[in-house]
Amino acid sequence: MRPPLKSILVPAAAELIPGAANALTARVIEETGYRVLLVTGAGVTNTHLGKPDVGLICVKEMADHVWAIRDAVEIALIADADTGFGNGVNVYRTVQMFERAGASAIQLEDQVFPKRCGHFDGKAVVPAGEMVGKIKAAVDARKSEDTLILARTDAIATDGIEAAIERAHLFHEAGADMLFVEAPQAEADLARIGAECPGPQICNLVIGGKTPILPRERLQEMGFAGIIYANAPLQAAVKAMRDVLTALHESGSAAGLEHMVASFRERQAMVQHDFYKELEARYAFVD
């Protein structure tokens, strides 16, 4: 039985949290030893729709992905619920859907809908009071206190670090279990977030994004409970696919590309093919 997420994401734990856009990625994350993953809205939008993270994914599509990932792995899942897909009433339903689908925590953000990726320009946030209402709705909607509410603010981009920290305090008072101040652009701001915001803090590091990529040990010193690498697995997959397909296109053959791909055996092991073969044999009809 997996430990409750609240026992993992404690201040200064600096737990590494990769992002998964699908169940196969989630299996790779679990197999390589991680205890928590983020079902990333950006990743699901990119892979499921082939479109950018600009508020195009819907609640049912995200809930289906949470369910599929929960069915594939045992580790804790943080489910990205974007803005909650509407007002407080919509947030209430979203939390119920995601919790039933198997989310260990549900992330909500204070952007105006349609939202943008946290590391895009041109973001806008709703009034703090509107987000407070959404957090209260989320807390009321969950069935288990082990299902955590992660409140994210994007206010640094619109109003600066002081306003973002102020919002973090308001969100904590409204009942959020964890806080996430998105896209600080300086190490000094990260340090302030870790020192001045209440409760467990999450940060999101994007390779090529706005926040400096600091060592885990430094973020641990700052007090962060979790470090999200929401995009790293998908960025790696895109590069690997492009490299293999380019080489195949240029050479006309897959011969010599074995070092660039997982073996056929590794691929089948990742999806537990042997387990299903055993099931077939166990339940085979014998006349």
Give 107-128 pLDDT, tens digit per residue. Answer: 999 999 999 998 999 899 999 9
Which has the closest alpha carbon to 109: 67, 164, 159? 164
Give 51-70 pLDDT, tens digit per residue. Answer: 999 999 999 999 999 999 99
Model confidence, pTM: 0.95
User: 77 and 69 in contact (C-beta within 8 Å)?
Assistant: yes
Which has the closest alpha carbon to 150: 111, 181, 106? 106
Give 226-238 pLDDT, tens digit per residue. Answer: 999 999 999 999 9
- What mean pLDDT comes out for the span 263-269? 95
| Other Cβ atoms within 10 Å of 18 Cβ, number | 24
Give the per-residue pLDDT at 9.
97
| Cα gap 150→58, rounded to integer Å | 19
pLDDT at 1 > cutoff 90: no
- What mean pLDDT comes out for the span 271-283? 95
Give the per-residue pLDDT at 238.
97
Give the per-residue pLDDT at 286.
86
| Cα gap 110→130, rounded to integer Å | 8
74: left (phi over 0), alpha (psi -120 to 50) or beta: alpha
Contacts made by residues 269-276, CB under 8 angstroms, sequence distance 24+: 270/24, 270/27, 270/28, 270/31, 271/24, 271/27
Give the per-residue pLDDT at 3.
82
